[in-house]
Structure 1
Amino acid sequence: MRALIAAVIGLAAALALILTVTAIGAPTGSTSPKPLLTTVPRHP
């Protein structure tokens, strides 16, 4: 019975987090036009 209660509480917490993020919405901003470097450039 305790496991069922813990599962319900966890599911409710996850649902509340999802609804909060949905209500706040995506952050405003723009992406950088410069590409990201994935490797360290070699020095000659």
Structure 2
Amino acid sequence: MRAVIAAAIGLAAALALVFTISAIGAPPGETSPRPLLTTVPGPKK
């Protein structure tokens, strides 16, 4: 039973953090126009 209560408290804290960050909004700034590499570049041909 203690594990269930601890899990519920942790879930409530995580949701509160997410809702707080969502209410504050995204930080100001712009995204990079260049795409990020998602794989390691191979040898050039």
User: Deviation of residue 32 (structure 1)?
Assistant: 6.0
* Matched residues, number: 39
Structural mapping, 1:19-34, within 5 Å: 19-31=19-31
Coordinate RMSD, CA, aligned: 1.9
When the two structures are superposed, what TM-score results if normalisation uses the length of structure 1?
A: 0.65
When the two structures are superposed, what TM-score results if normalisation uses the length of structure 2?
A: 0.64
Structure 2's unaligned 5+ residue stretches are 35-45
User: Deviation of residue 5 (structure 1)?
Assistant: 0.3
- Which structure 1 residue ranges, 4+ long, deviate > 2 Å from structure 2? 30-33
| Cross-structure match for 1:13 | 13
